[in-house]
């Protein structure tokens, strides 16, 4: 196969484990693909050195030859978002503040991938500290959408999604605080899953808004998504918020008889691009074709999701980012005659980008005496009501269906000067984080050569059900799962 990079990860791993495919050949092929497309896409902040990667692959081949039993990701390269700590490999959060930060430990998810014999390929570009929807706030410059280099790949895990879509890696990890896995998955035409809050360990994830975020898989197909989730999910003593997961997740597919799918009325109205509406209805039709029954559900409380999300996310960010003081680690502004307070303030003015500073300031405001009740507390109450109303909906529906993004991928630079316009793009993704439930974004068709996405939303711990529906959809809609012509 000359397009080895299109091989699903699960199959490549199977072939490597039985000696049918050499890990070295596979990794070399992907590195060639990277050499071909990365100069245009710029999905990575850090790529591991070619000789090092090939050396790791050769070691895998050697162990296969020796008859050793290898892990579920034997010889499979994976790209990891640059806010997930990797031992000895710099982890920048796409910020000048952490430009040279090299973690002395692996995040739990990375440890688990290595235990399955995966190969860390590199660290992917993102919005600075995961604050954004387009990967344009990165200190290292934007990533481009492999479907159209003038368009954004979505964000904040834009590098991960662009790398998977363009065949530079079969697997990637992203993080999703308010849509950062699903948005770029949708804009790049790949699969992205945001797990139930607590299902995947956040140990080693640089915190943005801890009460909302989860690490999750970004892959080209549903079965790879299940495989990756099976590996990273589950209780971790190092993260007290984690819960037990299934032994493994299957992308079984087949008939959806008995499934009731609820289209969320409030997310299919005003402000949604007609092409997106059409794609979501077409998606619903495919599920019906697979045996599901469709209905419509109204959740008026979702009107408050966006403001509640931004108040909570910014408040938590203002507190989490207080640790970047130039003293313990990270960037430090030094100068003759600077006293402690000037140095501290200069460190933060120069170390953080505009969007991060805007959020720290707004978050500090929302938490300050007198405003705490009016903003933060109210937002938390709204989140509780949103969770309640979603749980209520799951009494009648197996899964809910909505657009992932209200609009198709937009042009680079189009919205970056208008923060509010960018925030509004998150209207369909944030309810899921406020409610702590899982959701998967799937390719749902194209508009003028650009991919569109739809998301299935599940009840708490409904990942297995989501993956089954996703796999059935993939079976009946293979034309939606395409590679960009790059």
Residues that bind ligand GLN (CB under 6 A): 130-133, 156, 176-180, 208, 313, 426
Task: State the Cα angle at 9 between 5 and 14, rounded to 5°.
Answer: 115
Pairing of the two strands 260-264 and 77-81: unpaired
**Is 357 part of the annotated catalytic residue set?**
no
Contact predicate 453/440, CB 8 Å: no
Q: Pick the catalytic residue: 134, 138, 156, 230?
A: 156
CB nearer to ligand GLN: pick between 264 and 313:
313
CB nearer to ligand GLN: pick between 35 and 413:
413
Residue nearest to ligand GLN (CB): 180
Q: Rounded to the nearest whole angstrom, what is the least distance from the CB of residue 375 to ligand GLN in the complex? A: 16
Q: Rounded to the nearest whole angstrom, what is the least distance from the CB of residue 101 to ligand GLN in the complex? A: 19
Lookup result for tokens 């960037």: 331
Q: Rounded to the nearest whole angstrom, what is the least distance from the CB of residue 398 to ligand GLN in the complex? A: 25
Question: If you ran DSSP here, which 8-state letter would residue 207 be given?
Answer: P
**401 CB contacts (<8 Å, ≥6 apart)?**
261, 262, 263, 264, 280, 283, 284, 287, 454, 455, 456, 457
37: three-class secondary structure by DSSP: helix
CB nearer to ligand GLN: pick between 7 and 162:
162
d(CA 219, CA 304) in angstroms, rounded, equals 31
**Is 318 part of the annotated catalytic residue set?**
no
Residue 447 to residues 128, 172, 278, 443, Cα–Cα distance (Å): 29, 25, 10, 12
| The two structure tokens encoding residue 259 | 């499934």
Q: Rounded to the nearest whole angstrom, what is the least distance from the CB of residue 200 to ligand GLN in the complex? A: 14
Q: Rounded to the nearest whole angstrom, what is the least distance from the CB of residue 63 to ligand GLN in the complex? A: 37
Q: Rounded to the nearest whole angstrom, what is the least distance from the CB of residue 51 to ligand GLN in the complex? A: 34
d(CA 157, CA 154) in angstroms, rounded, equals 7
d(CA 466, CA 131) in angstroms, rounded, equals 27
Is the peptide bond between 156 and the residue preceding it cis, with omega within 30 degrees of 0?
A: yes
CB nearer to ligand GLN: pick between 31 and 306:
306
Contact predicate 301/395, CB 8 Å: no
Lookup result for tokens 């037990």: 244
Q: Pick the catalytic residue: 22, 81, 477, 480?
A: 81
| The two structure tokens encoding residue 155 | 């964000």
CB nearer to ligand GLN: pick between 251 and 452:
452
At 77, phi and psi to the nearest 5? -70, 145
CB nearer to ligand GLN: pick between 53 and 215:
215
Q: Rounded to the nearest whole angstrom, what is the least distance from the CB of residue 132 to ligand GLN in the complex? A: 5
Q: Rounded to the nearest whole angstrom, what is the least distance from the CB of residue 425 to ligand GLN in the complex? A: 7
**Is 175 part of the annotated catalytic residue set?**
no
Contact predicate 23/58, CB 8 Å: yes
CA dihedral 257, 262, 263, 267 (to 10 degrees): -150
Q: Pick the catalytic residue: 157, 160, 180, 186?
A: 180
CB nearer to ligand GLN: pick between 56 and 441:
441
How deeply is 243 buried, as exposed, middle or buried, from its count of CB atoms within 10 A (0-12, 13-18, 19+)?
middle
At 88, phi and psi to the nearest 5? 75, 0
CB nearer to ligand GLN: pick between 131 and 287:
131
Residues labelled as active-site residues: 81, 156, 180
């Amino acid at each position: 196969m000359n397009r080895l990079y299109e091989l699903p990860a699960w199959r490549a791993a199977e072939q490597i484990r039985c000696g049918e495919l050499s890990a070295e050949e596979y990794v070399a092929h992907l590195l060639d693909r990277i050499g071909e497309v990365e100069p245009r896409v710029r999905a990575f902040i850090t790529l591991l050195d070619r000789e090092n990667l090939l050396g790791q692959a050769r070691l895998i081949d050697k162990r296969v030859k020796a008859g050793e039993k290898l892990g579920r990701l034997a010889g499979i390269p994976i790209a990891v978002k640059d806010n997930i700590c990797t031992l000895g490999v710099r982890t920048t959060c796409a910020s000048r503040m952490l430009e040279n930060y090299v973690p002395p430990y692996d995040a739990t998810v990375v440890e688990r991938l290595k235990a399955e014999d995966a190969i860390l390929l590199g660290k992917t570009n993102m919005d600075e500290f995961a604050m954004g929807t387009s990967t344009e706030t990165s200190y290292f410059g934007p990533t481009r959408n492999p479907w159209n280099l003038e368009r954004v790949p979505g964000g904040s895990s834009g590098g991960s999604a662009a790398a998977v879509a363009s065949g530079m890696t079969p697997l990637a990890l992203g993080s999703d605080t308010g849509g950062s896995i699903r948005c770029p998955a949708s804009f790049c035409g790949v699969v992205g899953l945001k797990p139930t809050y607590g299902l995947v360990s956040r140990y080693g994830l640089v915190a943005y808004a801890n009460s909302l975020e989860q690490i999750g898989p970004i892959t080209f197909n549903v079965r790879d998504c299940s495989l990756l989730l099976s590996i990273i999910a589950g209780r971790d003593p190092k993260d007290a918020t984690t819960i037990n997961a299934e032994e493994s997740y299957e992308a079984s597919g087949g008939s959806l008889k008995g499934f009731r799918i609820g289209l969320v009325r409030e997310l299919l109205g005003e402000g949604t691009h007609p092409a997106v509406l059409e794609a979501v209805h077409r998606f619903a039709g495919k599920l019906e074709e697979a045996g599901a029954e469709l209905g419509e559900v109204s959740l008026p409380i979702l009107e408050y999701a966006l403001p509640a999300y931004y108040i909570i996310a910014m408040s938590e960010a203002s507190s989490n980012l207080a640790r970047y003081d130039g003293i313990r680690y990270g960037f430090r502004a030094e100068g003759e005659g600077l006293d402690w307070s000037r140095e501290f303030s200069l460190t933060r003015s120069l170390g953080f980008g505009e969007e991060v500073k805007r959020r720290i300031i707004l978050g500090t405001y929302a938490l300050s005496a007198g405003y705490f009740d009016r903003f933060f507390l109210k937002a938390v109450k709204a989140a509780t009501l949103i969770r309640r109303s979603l749980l209520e909906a799951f009494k009648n529906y197996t899964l809910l269906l909505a657009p992932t993004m209200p609009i198709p991928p937009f042009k680079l630079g189009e919205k970056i000067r208008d923060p509010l316009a960018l925030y509004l793009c998150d209207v369909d993704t944030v309810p899921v984080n406020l409610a702590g439930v899982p959701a998967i974004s799937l390719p749902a068709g194209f508009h003028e050569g650009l991919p569109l996405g739809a998301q299935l939303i599940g009840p708490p711990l409904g990942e297995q059900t989501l993956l089954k529906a996703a796999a059935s959809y993939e079976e009946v809609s293979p034309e939606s799962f395409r590679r960009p012509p790059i």
